[in-house]
Structure 1
Amino acid sequence: MQQKMCQAINTRYQTNHPHRNLNMIRGSEQEGTMRRVDELGIFWLVGHEGDALSGRLRFDVNDGCTVELVGIFDSKPGDDDSIRIHGWIGSNKVTLENCIPRRNNRGSTGVQKCEYYANQLFIGHHFTEDEFSLQTAVVEISDLDTWVGWRGITDFYGRRGDRNGPSYQMSFEPNQNQEATFNGGRVAIENSWTQEGDGVQEVKFRQWPTLKIAYDEPQNFKVVRRDVGAVQNLLSLCIDTPTTMDRLILRRPDIRARLLNGEDAGYEQDIELRVPLLRYVDPAGRKPRHPYQMLLTFDELGGIGRIAHWLETSKLFQTALSSMMSVQHAKQMFTENRFLNVAFAAEAFHRNIYGGAYLEQGEFDALLETLVVNTPDRHRAWLKDKLQHANQSTLRKRMRQLAAKAGEATKPITGNIDQWSFAVAKVRNDLTHLGSIPGRYPGGDLRSLSDSVYAVTRACMLLECGVPQEVLARSAQSESALWLSSRVESAVSRVRSSG
């Protein structure tokens, strides 16, 4: 029935080839971008294939994914159910995940129609499991090529020895793939390339690196997304600018590509995820990021082995990392919120990695119970509420310890650690408890302080990942670090003198 639906909507088809992979994708399919979708198709609620409606599926990386359907579904999910829609566009299966109804026209006249917004669009498979799993993720990320710095293309332009005209030569030697293991899988940087042209008048050639995460066993999709996001965040920390996911291909051994006659094509089906992204810029409009502008290149980080180590280590401070990276990916943010997000990330990271309790938890619980027992009944609830977090280190102490841990990597930025940590804690406390006078802390000072906290926390995260401190210390004398240091010094001075 599904094949009939496909042919009824669109008679175009593509032939699956046994060797079709990222290296062989041609035309617009190989472009590293979240491409638009605007296709007619047939769609139905999962589990209700007989109740199918024709409609139009549209996806844009900035606006998201919507499907407009002619008619109203007879079948309905429960009010608390997450709506999943299956469909066909051309010869491709699609799954629309976490759909939200937007319009539902049941008027007595005219054409009935409904519209759904989908949070995730999967092209290539119909997922039926409530919590589906995958085993391989291949991702293209912005600036990955310049970060890795692979050089496989060699060209030469000169004149022939007989002076009969110019000569141009080009050769390509694919870079050797690099792979490392982590707990439960493998991560690799692989070389992909494509060639076009008739070979007579022109030849078009392009190479690019992809990052692949392959698990020993299928993993819940949430785990896959977390790990892909962790690697993307690592690139953002190293490249020192927000990166974006250009393409994500998912695979699972039991989800096979099929030939037109339904037979197994001999390889796993590519399932492409498309989701709206923040601050997405088309590759054609991006400014190139050069190695000298980066905090660490791929080789300076420590290669693929360090990425594998990061996949394991970053799980310990995932919440802190997400909070810190939010200030990089947001299109715009009030400076107060930016500062508070970064300060929270630093405090959460310190708590997760270093702890910071004054007493052992059992000893503190016993002390607290003694105090509560010896307090009048009417004050016990109040006292317990006030003292339940008294065993935790202050933010000032945590920031001082983080700056000391970062050492030479951020010393030019923080300057006097005691004065810097005092300023950071004072601003955070004033903003959190609304004790500051409006406009007391200028936006420029808040931005400089938040950037300094970001730099310190980033250095500590990379140190925790195993990057040597002497490698990080090289960036301390960069132009951007020295520019920030003077602004932080001025901001700290004004905070300390503000009373």
Structure 2
Amino acid sequence: MTKNFELKGEWFLPSNKTKRISGSLIYDIDKGITLKLHGNFNDFPNLSDKSDNQYDIILGLTSKSEEITLYNIFLSFSEGIRLVQNQEVGTPSSEYIVNYIFRGAHFNTQEDIKFDQLVTEISDLEEWVGISGFIKDFDFIKKIEMQKNHEFKLDYKLPSTINFPLSENLDGQFNFVMIPSSEAIHYQKQFLITQRTELILKYKEEKNIEDILNDLFIFQSFLILGLYEKSHPKSITFYNEKNKKNYGNDNIVKREVKLYFHISDQKIEKQKTFRDMLFSYGNIEDKFPELIQNWFKKYNKLESCFKLLIEQFYNEKRFSENTFLNLAQAAESFHAHTKDRPKMPKEEYTEMKNEILSKVDSKYHTWLKDQFNFGNHLNLQTRLEELLTFCSCDMIDKIIGNKNEFIKNVKNSRNYYTHYSLSLKKKAIKGSELFYLTQKLKIILVSAFLIELGFDKNILNQILEEKEHRFFHFLTKL
């Protein structure tokens, strides 16, 4: 999904495969996916696929006989037929916006798009896993001697696959692929070995495309916590035990179906080291299977607040009051989903409520009952206090500074930027102070998610200390 391409061929609907329109499918990493046709599917009468110029499936056969399935398509432009007296009629063109391309197979319905295995490369996954097959087993003195003799030794062994369960029906795998340069026939003056790291998701039974992509996003979200930076898939390939191709001579293999979709604002690829990450696989290797399994188990419960957090990594170049509000909401939501409790026991609260209502004129009861509906819920201040206690370690305390001041600023600023009340305006912080407050909320939430997964606080504190200069120096200096 990192290179542009154009596929020319014929395009048709599953319900009418004989009516075909020639055209081009264009994948542009900046602009998205466009299908340009010399004709219009609306010209075909009585098609069940058509609904307000939206199509679930459009099939294609390229000029190189490659099967294509387009999924989730919208008509964006269509010319009408122009009649000119005493002239031939030209073919009007049309354009469609495409959300997904499946390259390598035809699927007639949305329900047919199912797989039991996904293979993907994700940006910075190789660096995060950090396992290389290149062997450096000779000492410094031997290396100097070899250099004097103009010798060079290269040893490489493909790393073993790393397996880890993700759920009852899903297993994960880090798979290492080595690609050697092609051998020269007569004379060789260079040799190149390239190693890639793949994430493989293996299902015990086939799953629909939405569920598989959701599982990929869940893993990618965990990776973002470690990278402390956005990430995206670079390639996605699907397989299904039931979807095979017969090449003859008993050569039957599972079809390889590649997925393409538009990723907005792709990150610029640059060489990354462990110093550029909050933590790497090496920091948590022993506990990784437990942590990633907990992440898959708890993600759905924490999804709403996590998406508010992850948005900050994708919009890090843009800051506004809404950035702060989203993280304040995420902090409140995280506490509500993991540590929620009433202010007082339910029985005591009900008894207090009934006693108050019995002593107050009935004409005030409607108003009072509205207040009682939320009166036993924890307020933002209490939730922040308990969240800071939950995350507390030497480095978090150092980053936060004065806890009471921090909580007061979050509470007052949240209330002002939510309601814009003039009485709160003086209490709210603005400009760079609001930016720094937001950055503090960001690391608190990342730490809270990690601790909730089972991350050891001592290890977390050590990691934060090691990465203080890289990520938090400007906050601790405050």
Q: Would you call these one fold, judging by a TM-score over 0.5?
A: yes
Please, which of 29, 36, 60 is the counterpart of residue 87 of structure 1? Answer: 60
Distance in 2, matches of 1:250 and 1:375, equals 66
Kindly indicate whether residue 104 of structure 2 is the aligned counterpart of residue 104 of structure 1.
Answer: no
Q: CA deviation at 1:37?
A: 2.0
Q: Are 2:116 and 2:206, in contact at CA under 8 Å, matched by a contact in 1?
A: yes
Cα distance in 2 for partners of 1:140, 1:347 equals 34
Rounded to whole Å, the distance in 2 between the matches of 1:162 and 1:446 is 56
Q: State the match for 1:12 in structure 2.
A: none
Query: 2:107: which partner in 1?
Result: 127
Structure 1 CA distance, aligned partners of 2:147 and 2:282? Answer: 43
Deviation of 1:58 (Å): 0.5
Letter matched to residue 453 of structure 2: C
Larger Rg: 2
Separation of aligned partners in 2, 1:479 and 1:43: 55
Paired residues of 2:412 and 2:428 also in contact (CA < 8 A): no
- How many Å separate the matches in 1 of 2:350 and 2:6? 61
Query: What residue in structure 1 maps to residue 152 of structure 2?
Result: 168
Give 1:13's aligned residue.
none
Alpha-carbon distance in 2 for matches of 1:254, 1:341: 44
In the alignment, what sits opposite 1:429? 415
Find the residue that maps to 2:19 and give its secondary structure: coil
Gaps of 5+ in 2: 84-89
SS at match of 1:398: helix
Deviation of 1:317 after TM superposition, in Å, equals 0.5
Q: TM-score, normalised by structure 1?
A: 0.81
- Given the two structures, how large is their TM-score scaled by the length of structure 2? 0.85
* Residue 257 (structure 1) aligns with: 245
Change over 3 Å in CA distance of 1:159–1:252 after alignment to 2? same
Q: Which residue does 1:15 correspond to in 2?
A: none
Match runs of 1:42-81 below 5 Å:
42-73=10-41, 74=44, 75=47, 77-79=50-52
Describe the shift of the 1:104–1:167 C-alpha distance in structure 2 as closer, same or farther (beyond 3 A): same
Q: Which residue of 2 aligns with 1:113?
A: 93
Shift of 1:292: 1.9
Select which of 126, 140, 147 maps to 1:145. 126
| Number of residue pairs aligned between Structure 1 and Structure 2 | 450
- Please state whether the residue corresponding to 1:174 is helix, strand or coil: coil
Distance 2:346 2:413 in 1: 29
Rounded Cα–Cα distance in structure 1 between residues aligned with 2:128 and 2:309: 21
> After the TM superposition, which of the residue ranges 101-110 and 186-195 deviates more from structure 2?
101-110
Task: Spell out the pairing of 1:66-465 with structure 2 (5 A cutoff).
Answer: 66-73=34-41, 74=44, 75=47, 77-79=50-52, 82-89=55-62, 90-109=64-83, 110-131=90-111, 132-154=113-135, 166-183=150-167, 184-199=169-184, 200-201=187-188, 202-259=190-247, 265-281=251-267, 286-302=269-285, 304-305=288-289, 306-330=291-315, 332-359=317-344, 383-408=368-393, 409-435=395-421, 437=425, 441-465=429-453
Letter of the aligned partner of 2:261 in structure 1? Answer: V
CA offsets per residue over residues 360-410 of structure 1, 9 Å max, x none? Answer: 668767876887899878766655444433332112211221111111151
Q: What is the correspondence of 1:19-38 to structure 2 with a 5 Å cutoff?
A: 33-38=1-6
Contact 1:310–1:465, Cα closer than 8 Å, also in 2? yes
Percent of paired sites with the same residue: 20
Q: Amino acid of the residue matched to residue 286 of structure 1?
A: E
Q: Give the deviation of 1:264 after TM superposition.
A: 7.3
Q: In structure 1, what is the equivalent of residue 86 of structure 2?
A: none
- 1:105 shift after superposition: 0.8
Amino acid at match of 2:385: R
Cα shift at 1:455: 0.5
SS of the aligned residue for 1:231 comes to helix
Shift of residue 439, structure 1, vs aligned partner = 12
1:94·1:122 contact (CA, 8 Å) conserved in 2?
yes
Aligned to 1:479: 469
The residue matched to 2:390 in structure 1 has which SS?
helix
Q: CA-atom RMSD, angstroms? A: 3.1
| CA positional deviation for 1:336 | 0.8
